[in-house]
Every structure is written in structure tokens, then in C-alpha cells.
Copies of this chain bind each other. A is one copy, B any other.
Amino acid sequence: MFEFRIIAQDPETGARAGEFVTPHGVVPTPVFMPCGTQATVKTLTPAQLEEAGVRMMLCNAYHLSLRPGADIVSRMGGLHKFANWDRPILTDSGGFQIFSLAELRTITEGGVLFRSHLDGREIFLTPEKCIEIENLLGADIIMILDECTSFPTEREVARAAMERTLGWAGRCKQAHRREDQALFGIVQGSTYPDLRRESADRTAALDFPGIAVGGLSVGEGPDLMAEMIENTLQRLPPNKPRYLMGVGRPEDILSAVEQGIDFFDCVLPTRCGRNGLAFTSQGRVKMRTPARREEHGPVDPGCDCYVCKHFSRGYVRHLLDAGEVLGMTLLSLHNVRHYMTLMEQTRSAIVEGRFRRFLAERRRIPLMAEND
């Protein structure tokens, strides 16, 4: 029911283009998944997401188990039907959210005791309970419960979290009940190269159909991140998909693709959209500043999205300035399309054997567009 085919391998880097086959269709990789945390990519309809070229969406099992409840989503026909999204979905277990959002956590070998960020209710989450929730939600890819550490973390704390994650990985695998869902393992190990290698080896040994690199993009910076990805990937089987969780900025994504990562997710395109920052082919553009007020051109002259084809920067700026929801919607839509274009171009460059040149061109784009 699941298959990962590598279509092209860049000869000069670790980059590869592939296809991941799921019950809801084939996902071309490398792929970026916009975050639909609460079963909606914030401000956008599924029709707008499809028009923007989104191939796969991420939802959050932790959030959905609290509201509306995994049992309700299940009785409503599962996540795809509930959110009217026929393409593949990945649910994160919520490990990251529990360790960043929730209060009063107590972690034991058995699981994690925490208070809901919504109503303070006490919840004891075990690997088994986590998989039960994800089985109820019904995403195509589901993630094991893992323990994320913050940055920096002492070696012994990092090791303990890694061990716990490995123990939970085995229990998640045991608890998993649905053949139409692929369960991915997660490598931890904080910023310790040897822990990363050990975690990768032992996660690989559990023979998941895909493996994620977790616990990164938490403040360690691009160099440490690249080093940890390197130490992880050298121990993972090349024929299985690799997912870098919570990453990230376009430049971070490209570097990770160069290293051999296949899956990405991040709130950045939609969060920045709501906050007035546009990603463009000429660098980031602050859309709320008065400088945009009378700009006739589109948000990004190099973009083919609905927003760039129909609206001026001046209008988008007016909407944001006036506090109109449509401003957030339009900029989220544009940013999501920017990310999708980035992934499409990246994949073409790999398939056509010109990834290195593409990378060099992209890296010449300034962080901020010049007129900002």
C-alpha cells in the first residue's frame, strides 16, 4: 500500500527526487507539507490549497485529540473526509507540542502526564494511546510519540530522551493497527553527533517505512542543524523516505534537500502570511510598511498564484493595514504557492541533473528584497 521510489539521484550531492505512494495518491518528493494543525491550513480552503499545488498536508494529533476529539473525527468519517482533503495527510503525534505548549509535564518510561493547553485538563499520554488517536484520525502517515528536548540540552538529558523515544518507538509499532497508514520513526539525540548516529542506527533497525529527523530547528542554527542531519542520514537506509520535522525557511529546506531529506513541514509560510511577510523570488518583502501603499505590481512578479495574478501590493497592504482577514488569506495563499513552486523547481532541477546550479542561483537571492 506504501512504496517509496527514487526517481533521480543528484550525482554531486545527496539530493534525490522520488515518489511516495499512499492510499490517497502519489506524493512527488522532495515535498513540503503546509501545517493544518487543527484540520485547516489557517485561512485557506482546500480548493485554494489544491490550486496552490499542495500535495500533502500535516495535521496535529495532539490538537485534534483535544478538539474536536479523535473519536468525533473518526465518526465523521476520518480526517480526509472531515477536512475535505482527498490528498495525503500526515499527522504529527504532538510530542513537540506537548513539550512546548503543555504545562506541568511529568515524563516517565510509561508516557507523559501533562495539562491540556486549552482547559488545563490532566492527560496521561502513552505511546499506545497516541497511536490509537492517530489510527482514529486516519492520516496516511502517522508519527510515533517522541520526546523532544530544547536547545541546548545536557548530554545525559539528551541521551535519556533518546532512549525514551526509542522505547516508545517500539511500543508505537506494536500498537499500530492500520495497514493503510505508514508509521514513521523519529531520530532524536539533540546536538550530539554520536547520539544522532546511535538513534539513527537503532531507529533504522526498527524497520519503519520512513524515518524523521526530530528535535532540530529549535535554536541550534543552520551549521549545527546540518551537522546533525549529516550524522543522522549517514546511518539511515537510502531507500526509505526521510522527513525533517518543522523545517523551515526556504534556504534551510534547500540545504536539507542537498543532504538527502525528502519531506518537510513548517508553519512559516502561513504564519508569515498572517503577519504580513511575503516570500518572493526576489527575497522577503514586508507587506505592511507604508512603502507598499502605492505599489502597482504584484506581491511577486515571478509568481503564478491567484494573488499575484490579480492583486497589487498596494491592495494587499491596504487589507493588512485595515485589519481585514482577506489580507491574511491572500498572503498565506501566496506564501504557500511560493513554497510549492520552490519544491517543484527543486524536484525538476534534481530530475534534470542541474540541482547544484539551481542551488547556486537560489542562494544568490538576498534574504530581504532590495527595496525593503
Kindly identify which residue among B40, B47, B315 contacts A306, using a CB–CB cutoff of 8 Å.
B47
CB distance from A334 to the nearest CB of B (A): 12
| Set of chain B residues within 8 Å of A293, measured between Cβ atoms | 68, 72
Residues of B within 8 A of A47 (CB): 306, 310
8 Å CB contact of A314 from B43, B82, B294, B325: B82
With A76-B315, A293-B72, A318-B67 as known contacts, state yes or no: A306 contacts B45, CB within 8 Å: yes
Which B residues touch A197, using CB under 8 A?
none
Q: In A261-296, which residues have CB < 8 Å from any B CB?
A: 293-294, 296
Q: Is A321 an interface residue (CB 8 A)?
A: yes
Give the residues in chain B near A83, CB-CB below 8 Å. 315
**Known interface pairs A67-B321, A68-B293, A319-B40. Does A82 touch B312 (Cβ–Cβ under 8 Å)?**
yes
Number of interface residues of A (CB under 8 A): 38
Q: Specify the chain B residue showing the minimal Cβ separation from A323.
A: B38
The reply to whether A40 and B326 contact each other, CB–CB distance below 8 Å, is yes
Q: Are A42 and B314 in contact (CB under 8 A)?
A: no
Please tell me if A44 contacts chain B, counting CB pairs below 8 Å: yes
Q: Does A75 contact B (CB under 8 A)?
A: yes
Residue among A67, A306, A314 facing the most chain B CB atoms (10 A cut-off):
A314
**How far does the Cβ of A345 sit from chain B's closest Cβ, in whole Å?**
26
Determine if A325 and B329 form an interchain contact, defined as CB atoms under 8 angstroms apart.
Answer: yes
A350 interface residue per 8 A CB criterion: no
